[in-house]
Amino acid sequence: MNSFKERFEQGILNSIERCSYDFYIVHPDKNYICTCTEHATKQPDKKCKKCLGTGYRIKIYTARGACNETMKGGAIMSTQTTSITRMYYIPYKYKLQEDDLIIDDNTIYYIFRLEKKKAIKGDITHYEVTATKRNGDHTIAINNFNNIINKYKKG
Ligand SMILES: [Zn+2]
């Protein structure tokens, strides 16, 4: 017989799947510094078409998960900053890392906290991701991102 905890956790996983939708993950590979980064200041070019202003070579892939705006119907405001914070619930099969970006509906979010959640039988089932919306205007970065994706789809 399943324990209450197991049933409860299975319920969470079911909710995640019910509310899941597709978005993109951008992973900056810190072994490869982008050519746009200035030697003196170590500042990347925010308009860079290759790294999207991350300063590193990037890998892009699609992922599927839920976020609190879909599950609870509202963004929460962080008390420490004025930026919008979102919780994402993403299955563990995706290999996420802190500092990855989530590109969701033409908006850039930074992953700043990644918790691995265990559910049934002690296996990690999903991540609980805290992500904040990138501050300021990121129209250029989004345009560059869409150009990369479109090239990819055609190629
Ligand atoms: Zn660059």
Count CA within 13 A, CB hemisphere, residue 70. Answer: 17
The CA 91 to ligand 1 mean position distance, Å, reads: 30
Give residue-wise pLDDT tens across range 65-113: 998 764 433 445 444 445 678 899 998 889 999 999 999 999 999 998 9
The verdict on pTM exceeding 0.95 is no
Distance separating alpha carbons of residues 101 and 106, to the nearest angstrom: 12
Kindly give the distance from the C-alpha atom of residue 127 to the centroid of ligand 1, in angstroms, as a whole number.
29
Give the Cα separation of 111 and 65 in Å (integer): 14
